[in-house]
Amino acid sequence: MEAAFAPFILPAAIAVIAATSFVARGRWLRLGLSVAGLLLVAEGLVANRPPSVAMLGGLLSIINIFALTQPLLSRRKLGEEGALLRARHLPMLTAADVRRLLDEGSFTNARAGDVLMREGAVSQSLQFLVSGTAAVTVADAIVGRIDAGDLLGEACLIPDGRASASVRIASDTARLWFIPSDRLHAFLGANPRIAEALAQASLAALQAKLDGANRERLDD
């Protein structure tokens, strides 16, 4: 039975590689190359090919199977905080990309009354509120609220961008992630895909804050 199929294994492997190269992208490309590699291993073992054929197929499969499993492994390492950031603001990025962004910054804890940014000051960092709440004030008047899962400090994405409001922790405790603006710009310069996704997320977050502030005014 093995001998009957042997003549078709190598052409099948080549056909899979060719078809994958034309029509597949991303994980489907990896999957196709993995299958082609396994077919080459079978070709080397069944048809008594030189050992290099099976070795080449095995290497092709191992590399691409590893690449396929990386996002799954990264998702497990992302944690609840990273998963929240990705779900709320960066769903277009892979878990691995979000993990890389988080690793560039730091997590810290805050208490009631801690000031995260001051109105009119140059924004020094991008921040992500993991837990707790914060009050947004303009000229000492409360104009909005920031809840867990919200971004703040988006002005730091603009050179010399200044905060349009002050933000102060309102809950007893809070946890947040932050990344200094200089480190953020260096990281985004080397990662244009993440930069684009973060720019879109920041615009959406700013629009949500404006809508919330408008609703507050109407309620008053």
Distance CA 41, CA 54 (A): 4
**63 and 161 together in one domain:** no
Q: Residue 213's domain is classified under what CATH number?
A: 2.60.120.10
**146 and 61 together in one domain:** no
Token output for 103: 């690793």
Residue 31 within a domain:
yes
Q: For the chain, what is the domain count? A: 2
Residue 214 within a domain:
yes
pTM for this model (two decimals): 0.63
pLDDT digits (tens, 9 = 90+) for 33-86: 777 778 777 777 777 777 766 777 777 778 777 777 766 555 557 788 899 999
User: What pLDDT sits at residue 66?
Assistant: 74
Token output for 92: 């277009």
**215 and 110 together in one domain:** yes
**150 and 209 together in one domain:** yes
41 Cβ contact partners less than 8 Å away, ≥ 6 residues apart: 54, 57, 58, 61
pLDDT digits (tens, 9 = 90+) for 193-220: 999 999 999 888 877 766 665 565 555 5
Residue 22 within a domain:
yes
Residue 91 within a domain:
no
Q: Rounded to 5 degrees, what angle do the CA atoms 50, 53, 58 make?
A: 135
Fill in the amino acid letter for 74: S
Is residue 127 exposed (0-12), middle (13-18) or buried (19+ Cβ within 10 Å)? Answer: buried
CB atoms near residue 110 (< 10 Å): 20
Residue 20 Rama label (left phi>0; alpha psi -120 to 50; beta): alpha
The residue segments making up the domain with residue 145 are: 105-219
